[in-house]
Amino acid sequence: MTLDAPLVELVGVTKRFGDQRVLDDVSMALPAGLTTVVVGPSGTGKSTLIKLLVGLLKPDAGRVLVGGEDVGAMDRAALMKMRRRFGMLFQDGALFHGMSVGENVAFPLHHHLKLSRDEEKSRVETALAQVGLPGLADRRPDQLSGGQRKRVGLARALVMQPQIVLFDEPTSGLDPVTSAAIDDLIVTTRKQLGLTFIVITHDVQSCAAIADRVGMLFEGKLQLFGPAQDVLRSDHPVVRQFFDRASNGPIRVV
Amino acid sequence: MNSASDLLAALGRYTRFCLSATRAVPFLNVREMLHQAYVMGVGSLVVLLAVGAFSGAMLTVQGFASLRAFGTSELLGMFIALGGVREVFPLIGAGCVGAKVGSAVASEVATLKIGQQIDALEVMAVDPMRFLVAPRLVACIVVTPLLVGACLLAGLVSSYLIATLQLGVDQGVFVSRLLENISLRDLVSALVKALGFGMLTGTLACWHGYAADAGAASVGQASNRTVVQAMVTGGVLNLFVSNVFYGGLL
């Protein structure tokens, strides 16, 4: 896959929940090997978008393409196969509390690869070292801080060596210093591994720190999408209000 | 439930869920199933033994008082066999399994749902039906007859102790009346009921847990709905099976 070629593409995607149109004719091509950040106010369809990418939801109209294959048209077996191209960091890590950190990270390995115990352990240790948490494999998730849980979630997302890593609000609920550390981790990990990262967030500082491409969602529509420096400097009223953190503008606080 | 169409829609969703869970059973994670069976069994045994013992004692005292009024207190063993083994112990045991196991499974699955762990399984290409639902369902079906059996035994032992030590009924008479009135049909009926209760409790608990949306309140709702529906449907099942085995139905 060459740089800038779309690995993930949305073509005219619409998603409704009842009468509410959460995503409305959204089209965007997310290039391989870069970090694309989709920003927007809460309730504007960001989480829906990420769920559409991995087939947790199906679009009411339009197509979601991963590597050229239509996710919405896949049967269950094809969907499960396609998902192995993804890793995902959930908002609160979504770790299994009955398992240790090491067991959590080893979970996808254990289910999909027949590795020896030593090989599995080594892969887990490498993944934990990659996210800056070496030697924490025996801890329980409830013994970790919010930032550490996210790092473990990222280690679990990376351990299967996916092509695409999704991040659902990676800095939400974290203090500014920990948020900055997570941002640094995202930047360095992507550079080291050369993967495709797709991040949804409403953290404007985080977006500025990690994004190669930025898409701005508002009221279900993609307002603007392009290289980060262009979007961040744009005069688009929605984008400006959002990145300037202004209370007056087209975005109304409900 | 607002209307009959809502009820039908819910029944449709439940049926679809049960079919998906059944299809996942051949691929279930055996280790997880054994773990769940252990947790359910060990965690509920003391409660079932205690409830069975108290039910047996209560049934014995009431039965003795009623039979003595007709001068037939020597039939106490038969009364316990007919009322306790056929109906009271299985039904009370099933109610306890519904309350203890059903609420625990429903709240666990609901917590995993709202904590996005079920979504995480999906994204990791691990089928939650195979990993999460099928092991709990099978564990529930396997463990419920054992727990109901334990409840039944505890009821019989307490009944024997109350009858002989407190009420002065002759040991030999009590035991012989009891044993001569327990047939293989009674045991098969109790087993069928327990398997049905296990199936109902397991499917309802996983279904309500799986249907939980956002918020901590939905965990409580899932748990509450499971217990209420397991008890009501368990009562219906008990009536149906009793009618099949003893009422000439079918």
pLDDT above 90 coverage of chain A, percent: 75
User: In chain A, which ranges are E strands?
Assistant: 6-17, 20-31, 35-39, 61-66, 69-70, 86-89, 164-168, 196-201, 213-218, 221-227
pLDDT of residue A6: 80
Rounded to an integer, what distance in angstroms lies between the CA atom of residue A183 and that of residue A173? 14
pLDDT tens string A6-31: 889 999 999 999 889 999 999 999 98
Test A108 with B127 for CB contact under 8 angstroms.
no
Query: How does DSSP assign B28-60, residue by residue?
Result: --HHHHHHHHHHHHHHHHHHHHHHHHHHHHHHH
Average pLDDT over residues A104-129: 93
Kindly tell me if the per-residue pLDDT of A41 is higher than 70.
yes
Interface mutation vs chain A, best among B19, B112, B118, B124, most A CBs within 10 Å: B124
Kindly tell me if the per-residue pLDDT of A1 is higher than 50.
no
Full-model pTM: 0.87
pLDDT of residue A197: 95
Test A112 with B125 for CB contact under 8 angstroms.
yes
Cross-sheet strand order for the sheet of A213-218: A86-89, A164-168, A196-201, A35-39, A213-218, A221-227
| A91: contact with B, CB 8 A cutoff | yes
Distances (CA, A) of A25 to A49, A66, A198, B77, B131: 12, 18, 19, 75, 36
CB A173 within 8 A of CB A206: no
ipTM score of complex: 0.90
Per DSSP, B84 falls in state I
Test B119 with A56 for CB contact under 8 angstroms.
yes
Rounded to an integer, what distance in angstroms lies between the CA atom of residue A140 and that of residue A188? 26
At residue A2 the predicted structure's pLDDT band, cuts being 50, 70 and 90, is very low
Per DSSP, B169 falls in state -
* Min Cα–Cα distance to chain A from B119, Å: 8
Any long-range contacts for B242-249 (C-beta under 8 Å, 24+ apart)? B242/B86, B242/B87, B242/B189, B245/B185, B245/B188, B245/B189, B245/B192, B246/B86, B246/B189
Residue A216, SS3? strand
Residue A215, SS3? strand
Average pLDDT over residues A84-89: 95
Contacts of A54 in chain B (CB under 8 A): 122-123
pLDDT of residue B224: 94
Average pLDDT over residues A159-163: 93
* Residue linked to tokens 């009024």: B69
Answer with the residue of higher pLDDT: A246 or B109.
Answer: B109
| A69: contact with B, CB 8 A cutoff | no
A136 CB burial (10 A radius; 0-12, 13-18, 19+)? buried
Element (H, E) at B248: none
Distance of alpha carbon B121 from its chain centroid, rounded? Answer: 29
Regions of chain B where pLDDT drops below 50: none
At residue A4 the predicted structure's pLDDT band, cuts being 50, 70 and 90, is low
Nearest-by-Cβ selection for A96 from B117, B122, B123? B117
pLDDT of residue A251: 86
pLDDT of residue A250: 87
